[in-house]
Each structure stands twice: as C-alpha cells, then as structure tokens.
Amino acid sequence: MNIVILKEMAPYERRVSGTPETVKKFKALGADIAVESGAGLSASISDEDYAAMGATVTDRAAAVSGADIILGVQGPDPDSISGAKPGAWIVAGLNPFVERARIDAYAVGGFEALAMEFMPRITRAQSMDILSSQSNLSGYKAVLDAAAEYGRSFPMMMTAAGTVSPAKAFIMGVGVAGLQAIATAKRLGAQVSATDVRSATREQIESLGAKAIFVESVAGIEGEGKGGYATEMSEEYRQAQAELVSSHIAKQDIVITTALIPGKAAPRLISDAQIATMKPGSVIVDLAVEQGGNVEGSVLGEVVERHGVKIVGHRNVPSRLAADASALFARNLYNFLSAFWNKENNAPVLDEEIGNAVRVTQGGKVVNERLLQLTGVTQ
C-alpha cells in the first residue's frame, strides 16, 4: 500500500496533507509513504522531518509512480498523477462544485476520487471532517486578522492616561468558524455578540459568554438543513435580518461574517449602505469571500476601505495558519483511512454510508449523488 503526500501547487496554498506525525502512524499501519520534496516547507516541515519518520522523499513523478492512495489538501492536477496505479484513490479537499472539470478528468483518468468536504456530519466521522477542523482555525484567524487591521485595542485597558474601551465584536454565522471566532474575540477581551439563522445556536452563543442577536417572530428563521448545515432563508427572514443588522452593526467595531451554503454562493449579509453606518476605523472580516462574499464590496485577497471601514477578504484563511491547519488536516485524512483499514488487505475498505458520501468518481464515471443532483447530469 503506497501512500503519497503531494506538494500543493495551487496559488496561496501553504498547507500539506501529511505531517511527520501521520507518516509515522501510516507506517505503523503497514503502509509505505512517499513525500514530494518540499511538500511541507510552507508549513515549517522539512524533507528531513518526513524522512526521519520513514518516508521516502523524492520528486513528484517518482513519488506518484505505483501509488495506491494520493493525499492532497486540494485536488492535484490530473496530468501530474498519471503514473499512479489504475484505480488509485485521490483523497483531498476537491471542491467538487467549483472544480467540476477536474473531477471529470479524475473519472476519465480512472481514479477513485474522494472529496473530503463531503464527509457526512455524523458522530463517528467528526474526526475526519476537514471542513470542521479548518473552519475552527479560520474562526480563530479571522479575529486575529481583524485585530491586525483595527487601530484600537480589543480589551479594555485601565491606564494612567485613562481607560481604553473594549472593542465591540459581532459574529454573523455561528458554525464551527463562528463559535471559534466568538471564543477568540472573548479571549482577547472584546464585547462579543453573535447571530445565526439557526435559532438553536442561541444557547451555544450564550454559553460562550456572548450576546445572542436574533430576529424574533419571523417565519423562516429555522434554517437548519440536512446534516447540520444552514440552508437558504426566506426573503422575509432576509429582510428582517438586514434590519436587525442595520441597527446593531452601526454600533460595532468589528464584524466577522462566516455564512456559507454548500454548493451555492454565500448569502449577502451586509450591504454597502449598512457599512456606511459604521464608525470610521471599524473592521469587517468576510470569511465567505471565496464563495462570493457575505459583505458587499469585499474583494478576494485584499483589504479594501469603504466609508472608512476596512473590509478584509483574505484568501484561504486556514493556509494563514499553515502549520496547525496542516496538522489537523493530516490527522483528518489519517483518521479517515485508518478507521477503514483492513489488516488483511493492508488497505482501507470504505463502508457504504461514508464511502458513498465522499466518493465522487469510480470506474471512469462521476458517481456522487450530491454532485449529480446539483449539475442535473446523470451518467
């Protein structure tokens, strides 16, 4: 069983799909590990660190040659992995809704591609969930990115020259990222409030010591969809939320938006007119900027200023914490493969519930239900 850890080639990608820790664990399972030279550098892991755990460090062609399983953070270029065994697995974050052409190429190439972001949100798969592990770090980093741009202190400071007021931080969208953003902003001493379309999050918000800001008595507020994801809201709800935000946001120093709907454009939560009501020097971090943005005027990869308010739209936020993001991502992949490891075959054998959820190509075809439903194509 040959497992390969590739160097990521996508721009702005600093993470790596395996670490010395997971190399060691895969070796203990009985697998051979090849690492593409330089794979870990941007996450502060040297080739020697991998080699010390028993990995073979080499170039991509040699690493991929005869591979059974190819690990990646993002999906690798199909041409660059043609030397792998027929039917080899690709285990990575494949971004299938956006990168559909690449998924098709994996099918044509005879790969069995497993999209880790399709991991079902069930208890036994929690430790395999890359969206959760990476969102957690994004929520942490979003607060630091806000603090980096903010010209004031987050905590209250009692100084000889007088008191510095604490920052008021508002977290919109209380999934994994939002919860960690609340916790981090609280840690740093801000006065934190939060909202979400799922009213069940109210308790979570309050248990973290933040104030829950909720649209009340509006139909369509119960936005919890299949698998714990948020679904789209009614137009009535959107309008009520926008009004609530309009009054609350004008008093905020920091706003962090985290609202994503899988496979769809991110919902618009903040309009330009609402930004204009904020105090100059306030900061908005749009964690959904790569999916079109929650904030009007946010620009992918840039910090822009509108009405004196900075709008932060960093790309690939988990990559901005490359070392920890890689450590958790690599553990997700190890937890996934090891949970299904068959000692006799010395290879993982997936079960139906998880296998069918994550598998996007097999036997030359695109096979995933979510993907086929969305595109309306059946093969």
CB 72 within 8 A of CB 91: yes
Which residue is catalytic, options 68, 129, 196, 253?
129
Range in contact with its own copies (rule: CB under 8 A) among 238-246, 321-329, 346-354, 363-371: 321-329
Which residue is catalytic, options 126, 165, 207, 247?
126
What is d(CA 176, CA 174) in angstroms, rounded to the nearest whole number? 7
Range in contact with its own copies (rule: CB under 8 A) among 87-95, 209-217, 268-276, 279-287: 279-287
Other C-beta atoms within 10 Å of 156: how many? 13
Q: How far is the CB of 328 from its own copies (least distance, A)?
A: 4
Q: How far is the CB of 7 from its own copies (least distance, A)?
A: 17
Q: 131 vs 295, which CB is nearer to its own copies?
A: 131
Q: How far is the CB of 152 from its own copies (least distance, A)?
A: 4
Q: Does 62 bind its own copies (CB under 8 A)?
A: no
What is d(CA 228, CA 204) in angstroms, rounded to the nearest whole number? 14
What is d(CA 233, CA 231) in angstroms, rounded to the nearest whole number? 6
Is 286 a known active-site residue?
no
CB 320 within 8 A of CB 133: no
CA dihedral 288, 291, 295, 300 (to 10 degrees): 90
* Residue indicated by tokens 């990608």: 13
Q: 180 vs 257, which CB is nearer to its own copies?
A: 180
Q: Pick the binder of its own copies from 116, 295, 328, 366 (CB under 8 A).
A: 328
Q: How far is the CB of 165 from its own copies (least distance, A)?
A: 9
The secondary structure of the chain in percent helix, strand, coil, rounded to multiples of 5, reads 40, 20, 40
Sorted by sequence, the CB contacts under 8 Å of residue 175 that are 6+ apart come out as 135, 196, 230, 258, 260
Q: 305 vs 353, which CB is nearer to its own copies?
A: 305
Range in contact with its own copies (rule: CB under 8 A) among 71-79, 194-202, 212-220, 314-322: 314-322
Q: How far is the CB of 308 from its own copies (least distance, A)?
A: 6
The b-or-e profile of 257-280 (16+ CB within 10 A means b, else e) is: bbbbbbeeebbbbbeeebbebbee
Site mask for its own copies (CB under 8 A), range 87-126, x = bound: ---------------------------------------x
Sorted by sequence, the CB contacts under 8 Å of residue 41 that are 6+ apart come out as none
User: Can you read off the two tokens belonging to residue 210?
Assistant: 């933040």
User: In sequence order, what DSSP letters do the residues of 66-86 get, joined into one string?
Assistant: T-SEEEEEEPPPGGGGTTSPT
Site mask for its own copies (CB under 8 A), range 11-50, x = bound: ---x----------------------------xxxx----
Q: 184 vs 195, which CB is nearer to its own copies?
A: 184
CB 241 within 8 A of CB 232: no
Range in contact with its own copies (rule: CB under 8 A) among 109-117, 237-245, 295-303, 319-327: 319-327
Please report which helix (H) or strand (E) contains residue 166, including its range.
Answer: none
* Pick from 302, 259, 234: nearest CA to 170: 259
User: Can you read off the two tokens belonging to residue 202?
Assistant: 């109210």
Sorted by sequence, the CB contacts under 8 Å of residue 87 that are 6+ apart come out as 110, 111, 112
Is 121 a known active-site residue?
yes
Q: 231 vs 335, which CB is nearer to its own copies?
A: 335
Q: How far is the CB of 175 from its own copies (least distance, A)?
A: 14
Is 129 a known active-site residue?
yes
Strands 347-348 and 341-342 come out as antiparallel
Q: 132 vs 368, which CB is nearer to its own copies?
A: 132
Q: How far is the CB of 153 from its own copies (least distance, A)?
A: 5
Q: Which positions from 136 through 195 interact with its own copies, judged by CB under 8 A? A: 136-137, 140, 144-145, 147-148, 150-153, 155, 157, 159-162, 164, 180, 184, 187-189
Report the catalytic residues: 121, 126, 129, 132, 229
* Contacting residues toward its own copies, per CB under 8 A: 14, 43-46, 126-127, 129, 132-133, 136-137, 140, 144-145, 147-148, 150-153, 155, 157, 159-162, 164, 180, 184, 187-189, 279-281, 308, 320-324, 327-328, 331-332, 335
